[in-house]
Every structure is written in C-alpha cells, then in structure tokens.
A and B are shown apart, each in its own frame.
Chain A
Amino acid sequence: MKPEIIEKTNAIGEAYYYAKHKSGLDIYVIPKDFASSYAVFATKYGAIDNCFEIEGEEGLHEVPDGIAHYLEHKMFENEDGVDTFSRFAEYGANANAFTTPTMTAYLFSCTNHLYENLEILLDYVSKPYFTPENVEKERGIIGQEIRMYEDNPGSAIYYNLLEAMYEKHQTRVNVAGTVESIAKITPELLYDCYYTFYNFSNMTLCISGRAEMDKVLELVDKILPEREQKKIIRHYHDEKPEVYQKRVSASFEVAKPMFLIGVKDMDIAEDAKLRTKKAVAMEILTDMLFGDTSPFAIDVYESGLVNGFDASCDHAHDSSKIFLEGECENPEEVYDHFIAYLDDIRKNGLSREDFDRVKRASYASYIKIFDSTRLADRYTFMLHDDCDPFDYGDALKSVTFEDVEALFPLLFKEEYFAMSVVNPIAEA
C-alpha cells in the first residue's frame, strides 16, 4: 500500500513533502532548484545512548563510550569487500558520515545519478558486516582520530567544560570515546547496538534537491529489508540543575589562555512545540546579551579584554546550554566581568530596541538558511528533535519581548555557570 504523502509550504515559498514508510521510516523530500542534491539517512542514536533497554526484552545494556561513532566507521565495510566510498565514487557522489551526541548520519551529495546513489545509501546502511578483523583494523584509525583531538585545545576545552557542567548525564560523554573505552568494542556489541538503533522506526531519510517522493518511496520499498520495529527505552542519568564543578583547566602549547564559559539549563520541555518556542527565545536572548551588538561583546572588544569573543546556544531534547568563548590574559577577570554585567542587566532590564533589531536579524538569517544546498542536514537535526522545520520560522515571528524577558532570570543564576580554561604550558 502506498503511504500518504503530505505537502507543507511556508510564507517564503519553501515546501517539503513527508511520508511514513511501512517500515516505520520517516521520509522527507525538500524540492530545491540546485544542480546538486543532498541526502541524509540518519538514526536517532549518538554518544549519549550508552545505556538502554528494549521493550519486551530482558536486560539493561550498558555499552562502552564511543561505540555509536565506532559503528559509524564500520558501516562502510561490506561483505563482498567492495569499499562503500568507491561505490559512490562510481556515480560521482561525495559521501560522508558523522556522529553527534544524539545522532548518527550517513549522507551523500551529487549532481548526477541521484537514485543510483540513494540506492547505495539505503543499501549499505541497512547491511551491517562486522568481523573481528575489520573491527580490529579500525582501532588504529579511530585511535589516531582521538589523538588528533587530544592535541586540539579547542576540543579539550569543550569536553572539559561538559564534564564540569554535567556530573552524570551522558552529555558529558566524548563522541569518539577514549583509547581505553574503544578497546572494549567487539563485533557482538556492534551488532547489538546496530539492531537496536538501526530499526527503521528510529530513523529518518531526508533529501533536498531534485528528488521526487514517489521514486524515493519505490526505492525504499525495494532496498530496505523487513525489520522488526523496536521500542527503545533510553536511560539518561539524573542530573541536578546546578553545575558539577565551577572550574576546570588544562595546559596546552597555546599562545594565550583560552576560556569557555557554560550556562547549564536543565529545564527542557517534553513537548516539541514548547521546546522550539524556548529555543527561539533563548537564541534571541543570547544574541541580545552576548551577540555582536551587545554591550558585553562591544566592551570586551574595545577594551581588548578578549580576542575572538563568540557566544552561542542550543536548546534541544537532550541538553540546553549557552557558551561564551574567547582568548584573554586572565580568564577570571572575564568571568567577573560576566557576573557584573548580568547584575547590571538584572537592575536595569533588557532593551526593547535591542530585541526588535536582533529579532529582525534572526529572521534574515533564518531566510538565508534556505539558500543552502545542504538543507537536508538542517532539517534532519530539527526532525530528530521532533520539531517541524517550519515551526521554527513561525516561532520566530511570534516571539515577544516579554517571552525573552521572562527567560532571563530562569537561565542566569550563578550556580548554573561553569568555566573551562586552557593555559599555555609554563616554560621550564
């Protein structure tokens, strides 16, 4: 039976099509007038999913850190020995994959042979092939990937901060794992994780470019094997709202100290629409307080206190946080400045004029997203957070100054702040 195809459009002339395949797979097609098309086949499975149960089955599974990422590497192995990348190369496609805390995604982009490439994507991701030899071979490669990040102060400062902010919750887990944790990974463990998280009701297929839903559905019918739909019960460790440690530091061969301040927020709604609404308010608030036009950003630039200052935030089902980063002589001085600035805002309030200006700029950057040839990427992130990609634009339109104002005191409390520092190695 052919599934129903739903079309959605928005005010700036964008559209997408949605269908649910009988395997449970959610399929999205975003028509774009580009020469290239971009497809993402992704599972809701990432670094934070290291403890889980399957409904109706006995036993709690606790798996080594880094296994979702290891599995991503190993999916490229095929039983007939043909390399996946070379299968794509035959049709001129550019293939890749990535793992995040909540997702593993397999993708390609191409200017030709879209359906041939799509067939390869569906085929290799639905056929695991793990042997003791090929699993062993990967340990050296991933070991070097981990080493590369160990020498990278930007990566160290980030994971150190997560470990300081979160005492137990898996947000603190490094996506690649450690050399020690990946030593425990076996073909059996990989198969267990694969058959749990790569059941198609836990996956999405999203294509932007010149695809037609009918043809995509035909291919999905043809390629995907029958697979039991499983309900996964994920266990995330309880986490208190306050940060675990206020300070963490490391030493690297860098020129100047680096800082990364984190604001932890454990107030995350179950309902996706509420989450989208809060995400928008949080982005505007972060921009008003720490964006390019904020008094804070201008002050640290003009005074020379910080070089390369940047602020960002993300609010999704797994975690919610704000980051402030830069290089400076004395990170504690920046932190004190941050605290004094917030006190000042508490006393004097936020500016309505700033709100209007930042909101307009956010609207413009939202529209610019649709020029991207990699739109399917963006959609996949939203879909995995159970958000409709167009809801974000609507929430942006309807967000008010009062929404943002109300959020400020909830987010900015001293017990939610932590700072990670990288210091230059002292000369011997």
Chain B
Amino acid sequence: MVFERKELASGIFWNAVHETKFKSNLISVRFVLPLTADTAAKNALLFPVLLRGSEKFPDIGSIRREEESIYDTTLNDSVYKRGDTQVLELRMSVLDNKYAIDGMDITERAMMLLDDILLHPVTENGVFCEEYVESEKEKLIDDILAQVNDKRRYAMTRLTEEMFEGDAFGLSELGTVETTEAVCPVCLWKQYHEMLSTARIEIFAIGNFDFDALSARFARMFEGIERRYTGAPKTKVMQGARKEVKTVYERQNITQGKLSLGFYTGSTVYDDDYHVMQMLNVIFGAGVTSKLFLNVREKLSLCYYCGSSENGHKGYMTVNSGIEFANEKKATDEILFQLDEIKKGNISESELRDARLALLDAIGRVGDSTGNILNWYFAGVMNEKLISPEEKRELIESVTAEDIVKKAQDIRLDTYYFLCGKEGNA
C-alpha cells in the first residue's frame, strides 16, 4: 500500500492509495465542518437535497438510473459526528474498468455523475428548488424522530446528549426538529456555498486508478470555487469529570432496561500514548474476553450484552448494557467493580496478551478492504498522526500492564443514564 497526499487547493486535499487486489475501487469526498446548533440541520440536508437533481440528471429517477447503468455505482451520502465536527461524505464503490462488458470507462462516468451532483444542482430562482428542500426536510424530521425506535442506540445517544450538554459534541449530527423546520431554500443555498468555500475537503481514491488523471479531474472540478479556508475545525477535548455524577432516568414502555454510563478518560487521539487507552478499553469491555463480558454476562448472567467503547476525539468512555430493571444496582456495582480491578492492577498476563493480539489483528486487516484503508488514513490525516499500520503495531506491542494501570487512575464516572420501564411494566 502506497499512500500519497497533496493539497489541490487551499484546504482541499487529495489522498491516494494504490492497491490492485480489489474488483471495485473507492472514491470518497469528505467535507469537514464545525458542528453547531445553527448549521447541523442545514448540513445534514445538503447532500440529500443535492441528490434530488442536477443539471444533467434533473430528478431522482434519472440519477438512480444513471447509477445502475454505470455498473451499480451508487453515490452514497452520509453525515456523522467526529469530535466537535460534522463530516459530510459522498462515497462511490466503482467497479474496476476491466469488468465492463461493453468497454465503458466506469470511473469517468462515475466522476461525471459526482461532478454534476456536487457542483451543478437544479435551481429555482437562483437557489435550491423549494419542493426538494421541503421534501427532504420532512424526511430528515422523520429520521430525527425515529431515533427513539432503536432503544439500544437511543440510550447511547441520550447519554451523549446529557454528558455533553452545552457542548458542541452534545448536539446531534442531524440537527433538531425545530432547526430543520426553520430551513428555507435561500439559507440552505447559502450554507451550500459556505460548505464549498470553507470546509476542509478530504478526497480519497483507493484501489486501481489512473491517479494522475483522477487528481487532475478533481482539481479541475474544484477550480471554479472561491475558497475561504481558515484551517481545520477544532475539537474541544473533555477537561475532567463532573464533581458530582449527573444521573438521568428516562421512562418508556419497554421490557428491558438500557444502562449507559459515561466516564471521563482524559485520553485522546492527539496524545502520544493514546494506544494505552485503546488497550485498556479492550481489557475492560470490548469483546468476548473482556472483564465486562466475562463477569457481567458470563459469571452473573445479568445481560446479553455489556460492553465499553472509548472515544479518543473527546476523551471519554461509555459502558452500555441491556438488563432487567431490577438488576440495575447489581449490574452497575459489577461494572464499577471491574473498573476498580484495573485501577488496582488486577490485570492478568493473558488479559494483556489477548487485548494486544486483538488490536494487532484489527491493524493487520487494515489493507483488506477499501473501507478499512479509507478509515485508517482519514484518521491519520485528521489527527495529524499519520503512521503506517506497521508503526502502530510497534506501539501496541510496547504497552505494559503498568502503563494501563496508570492510565486507569484518570478514569472517573461522569454521567449515569438509565432507560427504564413505566410503572406497571414487567
């Protein structure tokens, strides 16, 4: 895997990874913007509205038919939260040209589609079509409201909201019903140009392409855009745990309780020893050999799932579990007890080895899919820690139990959230 990176224009970066073993290649364009209450809903609406129609493909039917015709090259849009930033992505999995049965240059056709969708939207009175904007607003509101449907994810989202209340990270990457309702074609059009001129833009081409031609194609695409880039948006890392734990109970008509605990860790991706926290998380609660799995589930039979995950952008960790309402205290006590075990240094040789091997295994498979490669290098360039999987291996190999115990001393419970039943539920 050879990684190449260059700046095509102010804040527009080209990233290429050459790899010939895949039958389909990946093109991804990511726009990184600050996450704010005022812009979250607008940003979340941008790609859905762009995907409603462009000059050459004026409605959703013609866009989708073109995608199918060019060997199922779907323009997938997504929006997600990364620290205090909102990332908007357009991604295409492009079949290698050699599999075209009719000699089509699939990559070029895919680029024509991407170019048209991204930069030549259908307009009405010089802004986005009102019909498209209104229709996508309704769908976004449905998506925002539907977050309550999946209880496991809902509990995790609510914990984040409560834990980071008043902080950018506490906002939803979809915005709110109110801010979505307030969006109009004119203000969305303004935000679209704001995105094009100020976002940090990371372009990735992974697989087997004519990279020079492709990077030139992208450079031409963005040529006409006036950039006002002032640097990458920053994330404010968590500075410590609350003095008194914030406790939140929420009631719904459900049969299983969802426990979500948020801990301050103080470890972030910007630290040189971040991999120590990654090891700690694996030992504590990530996976089937972790302390949480072996004790809360296997020993005490309290749940089907109980796991931890850590977030290195903000410097916190969560534990999530689905339990009987009546077992709330038992489960919480055991989770906190297992964390104390790590703090006290009760980490066995085999726990340390298993965690190390699990992380090495994950690093070992980075090159196995274009999606993995994208995530690896995107993290590298965004965190300004661009290292190869090999270098990361060495870091993981070097972690000792003492390093982990030392790190564990910083961890403190910050927010306690329990989604429980209404009175009368079993």
Contact = CB atoms under 8 A, between A and B. Distances in A.
B9 interface: no
A256 to B, nearest CB: 6
Contacts of A111: 360-361, 364-365
Given A254-B148, A367-B24, A86 B322 contact: no
A370 interface: yes
B93 A293 contact: no
A-B pairs, top 9 by smallest CB distance, nearest first, are: A140-B301, A111-B364, A92-B357, A255-B145, A364-B71, A89-B354, A145-B304, A361-B72, A364-B72
The residue among B72, B297, B350 with the most chain A CB atoms within 10 A of its own CB is B72
Contacts of B360: 92, 111-112
Contacts of B368: 34-36, 373
A307 B143 contact: yes
A371 B364 contact: no
A368 B23 CA distance: 6
Contact of B139 (A92, A139, A153, A304): A304
Interface string A314-341: 0000000000000100000000000000
A304 B135 contact: yes
Contact of B357 (A91, A256, A298): A91
B135 A140 contact: no
A141 B297 contact: yes
Nearest to B99: A367
B95 A368 contact: yes
B142 A327 contact: yes
B239 interface: no
Contacts of A254: 146, 148-149
Interface in B258-308: 287-289, 294, 297-298, 301-305
A255 B149 contact: yes
Contacts of A93: 361
Contacts of B71: 360-361, 363-364
A180 interface: no
B152 to A, nearest CB: 7
A142 B304 contact: yes
Contacts of B353: 90
A368 B152 CA distance: 31
B361 A253 contact: no
The residue among A36, A85, A92, A151 with the most chain B CB atoms within 10 A of its own CB is A151
A371 B60 contact: no
Nearest to A13: B23
A183 to B, nearest CB: 15
A141 B304 contact: yes
Interface in A138-164: 138-142, 144-145, 147-148, 150-154
B64 A89 contact: no
B334 to A, nearest CB: 14
Q: Taking chain A's interface residues, is the majority helix, strand, or loop, or is none over half, making it mixed?
A: mixed
A368 B371 CA distance: 13
A12 interface: yes
A256 B135 contact: no
B22 interface: yes
A92 B64 CA distance: 43
B142 A147 contact: no
A110 interface: yes
B391 interface: no
Contact of B358 (A83, A89, A293, A368): A89
A152 B93 contact: no
Contacts of A362: 72
A361 B298 CA distance: 45
Contact of B93 (A33, A144, A302, A368): A368
Interface string A411-428: 000000000000001000
Interface in B335-364: 350, 353-354, 357-358, 360-361, 364
B409 interface: no
A143 B333 CA distance: 21
Contacts of A327: 142, 146
B21 interface: yes
A234 interface: no
B56 interface: no
Contacts of A357: 65, 68-69
A93 B354 CA distance: 9
B324 interface: yes
Nearest to B288: A85
Interface in A94-131: 94-95, 109-112
B230 interface: no
B18 interface: no
Contacts of A293: 61, 64-65, 68
Contacts of B149: 153-154, 252, 254-255, 258
A301 interface: yes
A425 B357 contact: no
Contacts of B23: 12, 367-368, 370-371
B383 interface: no
A421 to B, nearest CB: 14
